[in-house]
Amino acid sequence: MTTQPSAAARSARAQAAKPPHQQVRYLIVVGIGGAVGTSARFLTTQLSAPWLSQPAATMIINVIGSLLLGLLLEALACRGPDVGRRRMVRLLLGTGVLGGFTTYSTFATDVQSYLQQGQWLLAAGYGIGSVLLGLLAAGVGVWLATVLHRGGRRPIKRGSAS
């Protein structure tokens, strides 16, 4: 007598065989994270409105998001391959929350608005500055995660005479 796997077992195996972007559980996690991140961006923009222009708030949000994304991804990479719980955390916090928190579309709209107003230098400075600060912030996040993972210890230089 041959035993057949249950329908639930077949369904679970079929779901696990799909690439991550086609698995419903991952899509749900990203959606939940995106809702949280977008809400956090909205609240941050609203609360900072008395002190910051909307483009300044967008730049700060994107730079903070870049720093946190660099920190998160490096911290996860230091702990092992992107599978299981690490993948779920990356998708929830990285793709979802930080993807919803940061905003390329508002950044692009801000640049377009400056261009339409004839403020070419401001548009260029804002656009280039945002990208460069984002890259720098992501690099700082990666560096910080590496330092924290090592416990602040300096790496041993192999082959040196000290």
Summarize the annotated binding site as residue ranges: 99, 102
> In 10 A of CB 156, how many CB atoms?
7
The whole-angstrom separation of Cα 100 and Cα 98 is: 5
Which amino acid is residue 145, in one-letter code? A
CA-to-CA distance for 73 and 89, rounded, in angstroms?
A: 10
Work out the number of other CB atoms within 10 angstroms of the CB of residue 123.
18
- Paired tokens of 57: 């708030």
Feature table: binding site for Na(+): 99, 102
